[in-house]
């Protein structure tokens, strides 16, 4: 099946159309590279207070709200093999997954765009940096360059 994706060394979002029990579904997989974002959180936040990790969860919950608004049915998709092997590096990644039943008018590219924008907003707020990330959409490699700057700016501060 065709997979829509947005992947760089910091974040990934993928959506794939599939069939389950004869019904249309979308499989949503997302992840953040904990190692790459470590400079943003080290020394200023507690162990369980990683805002980038929380941000990924919030993006998933907001996606659930979007799906419901379009008469789709979001369901947790924990531990499913559909999302294994997406992370582009061998570093530590945190992942979230969602199964969207009866997606109707909800399109994979719309989900990717929604998720990337939501996550970038949270990353920029977490960074406490003056660096401006230009308006989205950006190609994954372009966003990666800005994330490199945001993470390095925190280390230098």
Q: Which of 66, 69, 56 is nearest to 97 (CA)?
A: 56
Q: How far apart are CA 132 and CA 37, in angstroms?
A: 17
Residue recorded with tokens 């280390």: 155
Q: Give the tokens for residue 1.
A: 């099946």
> Which percentage of the chain shows pLDDT scores above 70?
90
- Please provide the DSSP assignment of 71-124 as one string: T-EEEE-TT-GGGTT--SSSS-EEEEEEEEES-TT--HHHHHHHHHHHHHHHHH
Average of pLDDT values for 113-131? 87
Average pLDDT, integer, range 5-20:
95
pLDDT band at 154 (very low <50, low <70, confident <90, very high): low
Q: pLDDT value at position 130?
A: 78
**pLDDT value, residue 125:** 84
Residue 1 has pLDDT above 60, yes or no: no
Q: What sign results for the dihedral spanned by CA atoms 47, 52, 56, 62?
A: positive
Distance (Å, rounded) from C-alpha 10 to C-alpha 12?
Answer: 7
Q: Is residue 99 scored above 70 in pLDDT? A: yes
pLDDT tens digits for 39-98? Answer: 877 766 665 678 888 999 999 999 999 999 999 999 988 766 788 899 999 999 999 999
Encode burial over 47-86: b for 16+ CB neighbours within 10 A, e otherwise: eeebbbbebbeebbeebbebbeeeebebeebeeeebbeeb
Mean pLDDT throughout 107-134?
88
Strands 3-7 and 23-33: unpaired
**Helix, strand or coil for residue 67?**
helix
What is the pLDDT, as a whole number, of residue 39? 82
pLDDT at site 80: 65
């Amino acid at each position: 099946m065709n997979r829509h994706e947005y992947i760089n060394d910091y974040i990934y979002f993928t959506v794939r159309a599939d069939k389950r029990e004869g019904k249309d579904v979308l499989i949503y997989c997302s992840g953040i590279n904990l190692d790459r974002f470590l400079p943003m959180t080290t020394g200023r936040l507690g162990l369980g207070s990683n805002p980038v990790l929380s941000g990924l969860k919030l993006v998933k919950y907001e996606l659930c709200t979007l799906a419901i608004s379009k008469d789709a049915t979001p369901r947790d998709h924990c531990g499913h093999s559909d999302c294994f092997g997406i992370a582009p590096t061998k570093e530590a990644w945190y992942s979230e997954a969602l199964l969207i039943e009866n997606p109707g008018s909800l399109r994979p590219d719309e989900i990717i765009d929604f998720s990337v924008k939501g996550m970038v907003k949270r990353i920029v707020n977490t960074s406490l940096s003056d660096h401006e990330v230009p308006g989205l959409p950006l190609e994954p490699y372009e966003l990666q360059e800005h994330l490199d700057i945001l993470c390095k700016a925190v280390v230098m501060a």
